Amino acid sequence: MVAGKVMDNSGKPIENFVVEFIVEREVINVGSFNREVVGRKVFTTETDRDGTFYFTWNVDNYYNRFYLNYFVKDKFDDVKFMIPEEPMVDVSKSVGKMKNFEDQRVLAYHPDWFNLLKIIDQIGVDTNRGKILRKWGIYERQTDEEIAGKTYTFWWYYLKGKAFKFENDNLVKEFTYKPMKPVAEE
């Protein structure tokens, strides 16, 4: 069994956090002497209200590499938490020897998280702007532009390739583009 607990940096359990258990068959290519993955399975679960998770694994000798993944791309809340420095934990030595493995992972809050909560509280969690802030975080740049006699506000998320155009609180348009470095302020 592979099990663990996920908590924030104050020790509070994180509920509904997605964790993957990845099993791979890795071989050495005799022609290039490079390692190659020739078989792979991914199992997913969520932590319970105590922040715990577990995977049971029926030993299959075909697979020889085993990992816990704490950064599931479209499931990780990178607005709230920092992406772990080492999101993949190699548990091959324990699982390969049919030993149980337990891991504890502490996630640090994103440095903007508590400031973001204050901003969302001020503008309203159910407003268009509040919902966008919660999903995308604090924008990298805000501009106001007058177009055809109307003033629009733009929020730019350069590194994420997103922009939002507002008229007051009304979301007028959402833009998606190739992520880039932020534009220098004029």
Check: CB of residue 145 under 8 Å from CB of residue 154: yes
Q: Which of 74, 133, 70 shows the shortest CA–CA distance to 107?
A: 70
Instruction: Please report how the helices 113-123 and 128-136 are oriented relative to each other, as an axis angle in degrees rounded to 10.
Output: 170
Confidence (pLDDT) at 145: 94
Confidence (pLDDT) at 63: 85
Amino acid letter for position 45: T
Check: CB of residue 111 under 8 Å from CB of residue 123: no
At 119, give phi and psi (nearest 5°). Answer: -65, -45
What architecture (CATH level 2) is domain 2-107?
Answer: Sandwich (2.60)
Confidence (pLDDT) at 169: 82
Confidence (pLDDT) at 98: 62
Altogether, the residues listed in the chain come to a count of 186
Confidence (pLDDT) at 47: 97
Could you tell me how far CA 78 lies from the centroid of its own chain?
5
Confidence (pLDDT) at 185: 62
Sites in the chain below the pLDDT cut of 70: 96-99, 183-186
> What is the rounded distance in angstroms from the CA atom of residue 109 to the CA atom of residue 60?
38
Answer whether 0.85 is exceeded by the pTM.
Answer: no
Domain spans in the chain, listed from the N-terminal domain onward: 2-107, 113-176
